[in-house]
């Protein structure tokens, strides 16, 4: 009986010591606005809800990925200050942070459409922006001194996904198919696939 224990103990120790926990890379998705801050609105649609829906789909579409963990700055319609968001981001120290927003032009119905990307000064931020632009289609990419970008220590971008007051953009970004497609594209950017 003791001989069995002596033989099993080293095998157990080897198995235990050779087990290596998975080191997942953290990706933060910031669903802009929330709570009393509705962001851009148009005809019953709000920026805060559209970007929350898309952020949730990104997290959901990444469930099977072993190498990455998606963390949302908010997962419900709550007030989250920019200071709270950047504090959370900096504590997590993610590989990247993507802040999702929806644009609105001053006109009632906009002829402007499409996405825009705002970056930090860092090359890493600009590299993420280039990948997003390649995946979603060429777009305007600019450095911007925005709180979420300036105060985030990790590579970060802010993506305006389209114009809420452009019929084509609005229909796409509020449709289930459009949101799934946007989420899938971000998942592919995150995983490099």
Q: Is residue 13 part of a domain?
A: no
Count of domains for the chain: 1
Q: Is residue 3 part of a domain?
A: no
Distance CA(20)–CA(16), nearest Å, equals 9
Average pLDDT over residues 134-158: 97
Average pLDDT over residues 121-130: 98
Digit-coded pLDDT (tens) for 74-118: 999 999 999 999 999 999 999 999 999 999 999 899 999 999 999
- Cα angle 58, 122, 37 (rounded to 5 degrees) comes to 50
Q: Is residue 38 part of a domain?
A: yes
State the pLDDT confidence band at 193, using cuts at 50, 70 and 90.
Answer: confident
Q: Is residue 147 part of a domain?
A: yes
Q: Is residue 33 part of a domain?
A: yes
Q: What secondary structure does DSSP assign to 91-136, as a single string?
A: HH--SEEEEEEEE--SSSS-S--S-EEEE-SSHHHHHHHHHHHHHH
Q: What is the pTM of this model?
A: 0.87
Q: Is residue 171 part of a domain?
A: yes
Q: Residue 180 belongs to what domain range?
A: 23-191
Domain containing 108 — which CATH number?
3.40.630.40
State the pLDDT confidence band at 23, using cuts at 50, 70 and 90.
Answer: confident
């Amino acid at each position: 009986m003791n001989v069995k224990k002596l033989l099993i103990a080293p095998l157990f120790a080897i198995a235990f010591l050779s087990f290596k926990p998975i080191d997942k890379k953290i990706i933060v998705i910031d669903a802009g606005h929330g709570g009393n801050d509705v962001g851009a609105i148009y005809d019953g649609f709000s920026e805060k809800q559209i970007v929350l829906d898309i952020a949730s789909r990104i997290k959901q579409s990444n469930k099977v990925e072993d190498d990455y963990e998606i963390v949302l700055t908010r997962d419900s319609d709550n007030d989250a200050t920019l200071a709270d968001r950047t504090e959370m981001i900096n504590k997590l120290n993610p590989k990247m942070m993507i802040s999702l927003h929806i644009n609105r032009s001053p006109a009632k119905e906009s002829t402007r459409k499409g996405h825009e990307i705002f970056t930090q000064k860092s090359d890493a931020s600009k590299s993420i922006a280039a990948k997003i632009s390649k995946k979603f289609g060429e777009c305007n990419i600019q450095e911007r001194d925005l709180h979420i970008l300036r105060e985030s220590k990790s590579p970060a971008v802010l993506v305006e996904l389209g114009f809420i007051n452009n019929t084509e953009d609005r229909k796409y970004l509020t449709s289930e198919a459009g949101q799934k497609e946007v989420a899938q594209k971000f998942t592919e950017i995150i995983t490099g696939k």
